Amino acid sequence: MLVVGNWKMNLDLAAARQLSSAIAASIGPLDTVDVGMCPPFVALDAVFAVLHGTGIRLGAQNMHEEEGGAYTGEVSASMLRAVGCHYVILGHSERRQYAGETDQTVSKKARKAREHNLVPIVCVGESLPQREAGTHQAVVEKQVMESLSGVDCTHASELVVAYEPVWAIGTGETASPQQVADMHGHIRRLLEHLFGRAVGSGIPILYGGSVKPSNAQELFNQPNVDGGLIGGASLRAEDFLSIVNAARR
């Protein structure tokens, strides 16, 4: 199981140090669960210093698809590696919505991330109108196939997929366990098709969308749910730790 916190555009440097320290101090053994933390770019270095030696892995929330150069305001894969990142979240629905990211840019980014030995956490998920129209499986299938097109993955540990229905992100509304199980099963079949059964069957598929201490256990018990991508609840040490504990059982 894998639990990753996505801090989004929250917490200044002091607060980032405080939260990562509080989580690291109480995380306990990491033998049955992997844990990641994705602070904003400016806090990566400081949080890495806190996490170093704890087993909790650092991740970024985005990166640019090019190697480097004249891309003002952007951050490259090698820069993320240099500050200790293991994961990078790609194609989060907020980036698809506010920064115009497409499956094609996500695929370029994921390929570049792999070249630099970063583990991409590729996010997919349908909107409310798409869910209501019954096109959610087709929408997610297209996102998975196109976002992962050309991505090199020969070991299951080299890639993570996060299913995050847009209507459940930050809304307090969670997909039902059945909805989650159905979509995760569908994504599993796509991963096995793309990367072969041996690799595709082991790629972690995280659920994201208003996961909290009260619903984590039930969601994590669903087939093909290998953990969670946690937004709001990752900003409170107690809640995040309780979600990590739910993944342990």
Of 209, 222, 225, 247, the residue at the interface with ligand PEP (CB under 6 A) is 209
Q: Which of residues 140-169 bind ligand PEP (CB under 6 A)?
A: 164, 169
Say how far apart CA 163 and CA 137 lie, in whole Å: 11
CA-closest candidate to residue 205, choices 176, 234, 164, 174: 164
* E strand or H helix at 82: helix 77-82
Identity of residue 171: T
DSSP 210: S
Of 211, 216, 219, 247, the residue at the interface with ligand PEP (CB under 6 A) is 211
Say how far apart CA 62 and CA 179 lie, in whole Å: 27
Say how far apart CA 139 and CA 167 lie, in whole Å: 14
Tell the smallest beta-carbon distance from residue 25 to ligand PEP (Å): 23
Tell the smallest beta-carbon distance from residue 123 to ligand PEP (Å): 7
CA-closest candidate to residue 228, choices 138, 148, 213: 213
- Examine the residue annotation and report whether 52 is marked as an active-site residue of this protein: no
Rank residues 59 and 200 by Cβ distance to ligand PEP and give the closer one.
Answer: 59
Question: Interface with ligand PEP includes 6 (CB under 6 A)?
Answer: yes
Tell the smallest beta-carbon distance from residue 223 to ligand PEP (Å): 20
- Examine the residue annotation and report whether 164 is marked as an active-site residue of this protein: yes
Of 38, 229, 237, 241, the residue at the interface with ligand PEP (CB under 6 A) is 229
Catalytic residues: 92, 164
Question: Residue numbers of the site for ligand PEP (CB under 6 A)?
Answer: 6, 164, 169-170, 208-211, 229-233
